[in-house]
């Protein structure tokens, strides 16, 4: 599921860069093909997550990501003040915010993208606004996803956990002390 989402997000961002940056556009050309790949990878982006809803374990993770408890606020305060002592369950507050922000951003990008894809869906002012939101949010999404990759690159144990589903007790005790199940 993570891999499916990551692959689609990668395709979206890569094709967006080709559509958007003149040097890449000159290199690749084939504008119509690139547009089609971008549109389809965009609308398919929520599919892996929706498929995941069939899994009880994934639904449990979604519940965890949704709920913020006292320790999450403490975690955020500690991060903002660059202090240690950052209590977290299976997901820390940063991961929860990242998940929610990305989910919202994907929905907004899909909505504004569809407005531009099917120009007869809505009046022109909507389309201009959709283009504005789509362009600027795309830059933010690229920056946030880059941040996500950077954090992952600095934590081999977390990457191992994503690949295998298992993490060591010591790592979990240090990074996610409140995680029990």
Partner 1 sequence: MVGRALVPGARGWSNRRVDSESEDHGTPVGRRVVLGMIGLGAAGVAAGPYLQRGVDAALGAVAGKDPTGLTGLLPGAGGFRYYSVTASVPHRGETDYRLTVDGLVDRPGSYRLADLRALPQDRLVRDVQCVTGWRVPHTPFEGVRLSRLLDAAGVRPGARAVRFTCFDGAYSESLTLEQARRSDVLVALRMQDAGISHAHGGPVRLYVAPMYFYKSAKWLSGITVTDKVEPGYWERYGYDVDGWVGRSNGRDDAPTA
Cβ-based nearer residue to partner 1, 78 or 108? 108
Say whether residue 38 binds partner 1 (CB under 8 A): no
101, 104, 110, 112 alpha-carbon torsion, rounded to 10°: -100
Separation between Cα atoms, residue 125 and residue 129, nearest integer Å: 6
Q: What angle do CA 52, 56, 60 make, to 5 degrees?
A: 95
Residue written as token pair 């094709």: 15
The neighbour count for residue 86, using CB atoms within 10 Å, is 20
Cβ-based nearer residue to partner 1, 83 or 159? 159
Cβ-based nearer residue to partner 1, 11 or 52? 52
Taking CB under 8 A as the criterion, which residues in 122-161 touch partner 1?
124-133, 135-137, 139, 161
Interface region with partner 1, contact rule CB under 8 A, candidates 8-16, 38-46, 142-150, 169-177: 169-177
Q: Which of 26, 80, 84, 85 binds partner 1 (CB under 8 A)?
A: 26
Q: How far is CA 158 from CA 33, 35, 82, 153, 167, in A?
A: 36, 35, 21, 9, 7
Say whether residue 22 binds partner 1 (CB under 8 A): yes
CB of 173 to partner 1, least distance (A): 6
Taking CB under 8 A as the criterion, which residues in 39-78 touch partner 1?
52, 55, 57-58, 60-61, 63-72
């Amino acid at each position: 599921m993570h891999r499916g989402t990551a692959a689609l997000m990668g395709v979206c961002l890569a094709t967006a860069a080709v559509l958007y940056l003149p040097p890449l556009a000159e290199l690749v050309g084939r504008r119509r093909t690139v547009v089609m790949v971008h549109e389809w990878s965009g609308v398919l982006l929520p599919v892996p997550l929706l498929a995941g809803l069939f899994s009880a374990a994934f639904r449990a993770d979604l519940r965890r990501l949704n709920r913020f408890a006292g320790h999450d606020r403490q975690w955020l305060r500690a991060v903002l003040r660059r202090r240690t002592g950052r209590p977290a369950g299976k997901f820390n507050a940063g991961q929860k915010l990242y998940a929610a922000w990305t989910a919202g951003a994907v929905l907004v990008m899909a909505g504004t993208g569809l407005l531009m894809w099917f120009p007869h869906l809505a009046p022109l002012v909507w389309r201009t606004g959709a283009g504005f939101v789509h362009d600027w949010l795309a830059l933010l999404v690229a920056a946030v996803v880059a941040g996500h990759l950077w954090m992952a690159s600095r934590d081999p144990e977390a990457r191992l956990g994503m690949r295998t589903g298992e993490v060591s007790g010591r790592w979990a005790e240090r990074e996610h002390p409140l995680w029990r199940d």
